[in-house]
Amino acid sequence: MHFKGEGSGKKRQTTAHATQEFRADGSQQQTQHIARFSELSISTTAKAITILVAANLLVGSIYGLYFASTPLQRLALIQAFTAVFALCAGFMTHARRAELFAVTAA
């Protein structure tokens, strides 16, 4: 918490969720900080995150397999990236279990 407005006769105590104003007469006023975002900006951000995750999975698996030195390491990386891919496909889409199984097997 910190105070603002020392010289104006009002003191503000700011927390993570609200601001309390302490006036010169001793009264308090609390204001809420609520942010609103348009549906388009939320959708665009979600699409960008999805694209970045997909690209990192693709490039990360290629780099990982390139630098893996033993067959056991390569199998472990294939298993790990397949599991992460299945989790991402499950959380980022509305696919059913059968569709997720088919996509992961492909």
CB 36 within 8 A of CB 24: no
E strand or H helix that includes residue 71: helix 71-92
* Residue 97 reports pLDDT greater than 50: yes
CB 53 within 8 A of CB 88: yes
* Residue 47 reports pLDDT greater than 80: yes
More confident residue, 77 or 93: 77
What confidence tens digit (pLDDT) does each residue in 53-86 have?
A: 989 999 999 999 999 999 999 999 999 999 999 9
Token representation of residue 65: 């397999």
